[in-house]
Amino acid sequence: MKFDWFVIPFLAGLTFVFGFCCIKFYLWIQRLSRGEKALLKKHFFSPSLWVSIKEIFNESLLHRKIFRTNALLGYMHTSLAFGWFLLIVLGNIEVKFYSHYSVNPPYVPIFLNYFEPNTAPHFFGRGFRFLMDFLLLIILSGVALAYLKRFQPNRFGMRRTMQHQVLDKLAIISLWCIFPARLLAESFSAALYHNGSFLTNTVGKWLSFLPVDNLIYPAWWGYSIVLGIFFFSLPFSRYMHIPTEVLLIILRNAGIRSRYFNHPFQQVDIYACSRCGICIDACQLSTLGYATQPAYYLRSLRYKTQHNELTENCLLCGRCVEACPVGIFSTDIRSHERTLGHEMNSVHYNFSKNIPKQKNVEVLYFAGCMSHLVPGIKKAMTSILNQSGCSWSMLDEQETVCCGRPLLLAGQITAANQVIMHTRSLIERSHARILVTSCPICFKTFKENYRLNANVLHHSQFIKHLQDEQRIVTQRISAHVKYHDPCELGRGMNVYNEPREVLSHIAHLLPTNHEKNKSLCCGGSLGNIFIDVDSKLQIATNTLQQMDIRSADYLITACPLCQKTFSAVSPIPVKDIAQLVADNLLLANAENKNNYAMISENA
C-alpha cells in the first residue's frame, strides 16, 4: 500500500469529519419519534428517494437557488462545490487505471501526482490530466471570486454581508488555501516529471527557477495540512452545512417537520445554515440596523449564546424562508422558541356571556379585530354581500372576538387555545357553509388551527367567486392601481392570483418590483414583539418607496393591518380590495339568487 507521512493531517481530518458526522446524524435520527422514523424508512424504500437525490444534486452541488439570487454568486458556489465534487470523482476513476490494488486508501486520489508521478504517457493519461487541470482552474476561479466578494459584495448582488466569528474565518481561510496549495504542489510535480496539462505545466514552467527538487515535498505537506485544518474546523464552523444539508433534504422530503422547540429536525435546520447571508438582504429589519436575521439567530442557537432579543425581533413575514437557498424554516423555529418560558402569568377570558343567537345562514362573515379599526372594509363587505343576494350574517358585528393568532404569534399557546375554542363554538353555531374573513391573520388561523366544517375563504377569494358567477357586476375605471401582497395571505396562505384577477377586472393593475412571494412586509406585523411603532412606520415608508407607488392612483391591499399601517405614511390613498370592488359595484340582476352550492364545491 502506498503511504507517506505527509498524508497524516489529511487522513486524520477526514476521519474526524466522517466520525463526527456519523455520530451527530445518528443522534439526531435516534431522537425522532417512532412515526417520524417510519416516515424516514418509507422514504428510503420508495421512488420519492429520487426526488431527494435530484434535490441534493441540484441544491448541494449545483446551487440552483443561488443562481436565482445572483448569477455570479451562483457560479462561485457551483464552481467550488460541483468542481470539487467532480475533482474527487475523476480522481477516484483515474486511480483505477494506475493502481495495482482494487481498493485504495482515500488519500491516494487526492495526492495521486505524488504517488504516481508518471501518468502522462499512459493511455487516457493526457485526457485525465487535462480534465483535472480544467476543473482545478474552474475551482480556482471560484476561489478568486470568493476573495473578490470579501471586498466588493455589491458585485454579487449582496448589499450587506455576514459578520463572521473567528472559527468561521479560520475555516474560510483554510478553504481559500486548499486549491492554491494543490496548484502549487501539482505545478512542482509537473515541472519535475512533466505530468501536468495546460495549467500545471505552465505554472510549473514559471516556477522552474526555484529549487523545485527541494520544494516539492514541503508543498505536498502544505496541501495536506490546509486540508487537515479545514476538516478539523468543519464540524465547528459554518461548513458543517455541507454534510448536514444532505440529511436536511432527505428528512424534509420524507415529510418530517420541526413540531416543537429543540425538535431533532430543528437541530438539522440549525446545522444546515451556511450563514451565506442571503437572508440579511431579504430581511427588512436590516435596514433598521438589526442583526436579527436567521443567519445570526440560528448561529446563536447553535452556539447557545444569549438571544432573547433575536427571538422576539422578527416580523415573521417569511421573506427569509423564501430567499434561503437551503430552505430552512427559521420562522417556525422562532415561533416554537417563543412558546418557552414566556407564558403569560394567568389568563382569564369570561367569554361565555352575551353570545347572540346566530341565525342559520349560508355565508358567515367574520371581519376580525383589525377590520373594526378600518370600518370602510366592513361597510364594503356589507354592500358586496347584500348585492350578491345570499343569506349572510356577521359574526362579530356587535362584539368583536379574536381569532387567537395574535396570542399564537407571541407564543401564548394556552391562552390562544382558550380563544380558539370559544370562537370555534361561535362559528359552528351558525352552521354556515362558507366562512368569509377580511383579515389574512384570521384566515390563516381559521384554516390551520380550527378544523372547521365550513369552507374558509378570504374575502378576495370570495369576491373572485362572486365575480366569476356574475353574482356581482363591477364597472371598469381608468385608475391605475398597485397591489401589495400581505405576508399572511401571500407567503402565509399562497393566495396570490385571486386578488390580482379581481383587480384586473376593475382597474389597470400595474406591476411592482416585489410581486407575490417576493412581496415586502408593511412592517405592522403582529409577529414582531420587539420593535416599536416608529420603526414599524419606517419599514412601511421603505416598502412604499421600493414599490414605487407614486405611479399609481391607489395602493390596494387585502389586509386591514397592512392598510392601517400604510395609510399612516402613504402619499396616495390606500384601499382594501373590498373597498375598490364596493365603490365600483353595478346593480346586479336580482333573479340570480340560486344557492351557494357552486361556490362551496368549487372552492
Q: Which is nearer to other proteins, 214 or 398 (CB)?
A: 398
Can residue 421 be called a binding residue for other proteins (CB under 8 A)?
no
Nearest to 65 by CA among 50, 81, 83, 44: 81
Task: Indicate whether 562 belongs to the interface with other proteins (CB under 8 A).
Answer: no
Nearest to 526 by CA among 402, 349, 384: 402
Contact segment (CB under 8 A) with other proteins among 11-19, 78-86, 557-565, 592-600 equals 557-565
On the CB side of 132, how many CA atoms lie within 13 Å of its CA? Answer: 32
Is residue 413 a contact residue for other proteins (CB under 8 A)? no
Which listed range, 34-42, 47-55, 111-119, 404-412, lies at the site for other proteins (CB under 8 A)? 404-412
Our finding on whether 530 is near other proteins (CB under 8 A) is: yes
What distance in Å separates the CA atoms of residue 550 and residue 531, rounded to the nearest whole number?
28
Minimum distance from residue 262 beta carbon to other proteins (Å): 22
Q: Does 351 bind other proteins (CB under 8 A)?
A: yes
What number of chain residues touch other proteins (CB under 8 A)? 38
Rg (alpha carbons) of the chain, rounded to whole number: 30
Cell of 329: 424554516
Nearest to 314 by CA among 342, 343, 336: 336
> Are residues 183 and 138 in contact, defined by beta-carbon separation less than 8 angstroms?
no
**Cβ partners under 8 Å of residue 383, min gap 6:** 582, 585
Spatial neighbors of 160 by CB under 8 A, at least 6 apart, are 153, 277, 280, 281, 286
Q: Is 249 in the site for other proteins (CB under 8 A)?
A: no
Q: Rule CB under 8 A: is residue 347 a binding residue for other proteins?
A: yes
Choices 75-83, 104-112, 356-364, 368-376 (CB under 8 A): range interacting with other proteins: 368-376
Q: Is residue 206 involved in binding other proteins (CB under 8 A)?
A: no
Phi/psi at 350 (nearest 5 deg)? -95, 75
Q: How many other C-beta atoms lie within 10 A of the C-beta of residue 45?
A: 8
Asked if 306 is part of the footprint of other proteins (rule: CB under 8 A), the reply reads no
DSSP assignment of 17-28 equals HHHHHHHHHHHH
Shortest separation between residue 409's beta carbon and other proteins, angstroms: 8
If the CB atoms of residues 538 and 600 are measured against other proteins, the closer one turns out to be 538
Which of 213, 397, 399, 548 lies at the binding interface for other proteins (CB under 8 A)? 399
Does residue 402 interact with other proteins by CB under 8 A? yes
**Segment contacting other proteins (CB under 8 A): 177-185, 225-233, 319-327, 408-416?**
408-416
- Residue 478 as a binder of other proteins (CB under 8 A): the answer is no
Least separation, in Å, of the C-beta of 423 and other proteins? Answer: 11
Closer CB to other proteins, 203 or 369, in the complex: 369
Helical axes 125-151 vs 198-206, angle rounded to 10°: 70
Nearest-approach distance from CB 316 to other proteins, in angstroms: 13
Type of residue numbered 580: L
**Does residue number 429 form part of the binding site for other proteins (CB under 8 A)?**
no
Q: Which is nearer to other proteins, 538 or 584 (CB)?
A: 538
Q: Judged by CB under 8 A, does residue 406 bind other proteins?
A: yes
Residue 292 in the binding site for other proteins (CB under 8 A)? no
How far is Cα 425 from Cα 523, in angstroms, rounded to an integer? 32
User: Cα(566)–Cα(532) distance, rounded to whole angstroms?
Assistant: 16
Rounded distance between C-alpha atoms, residue 363 and residue 385, angstroms: 9
Span from 187-195, 219-227, 524-532, 585-593 in contact with other proteins (CB under 8 A):
524-532
In this complex, which beta carbon is closest to other proteins, that of residue 210 or of residue 373?
A: 373
Q: How far apart are the first and last CA of the chain?
A: 69
Out of 214, 305, 345, 513, point to the residue binding other proteins (CB under 8 A): 345
Runs of H (alpha helix) within 339-495:
369-373, 375-388, 405-409, 413-429, 440-449, 459-468
Q: What is the DSSP string of 58-110?
A: IIIIS-HHHHHH-HHHHHHHHHHHHHHHHHHHHHHHHHHHH-SSSS--THHHH
Nearest residue (CB) to other proteins, 182 versus 536: 536
For position 356 contacting other proteins by CB under 8 A, the verdict is no
If binding is defined by CB under 8 A, does position 346 make contact with other proteins? Answer: yes
Q: 229 vs 377, which CB is nearer to other proteins?
A: 377
Name the residues that contact other proteins, by CB under 8 A: 312, 342, 344-351, 353-354, 369-370, 372-373, 399-402, 404, 406-407, 410, 412, 415, 419, 524, 526, 529-534, 561, 564-565
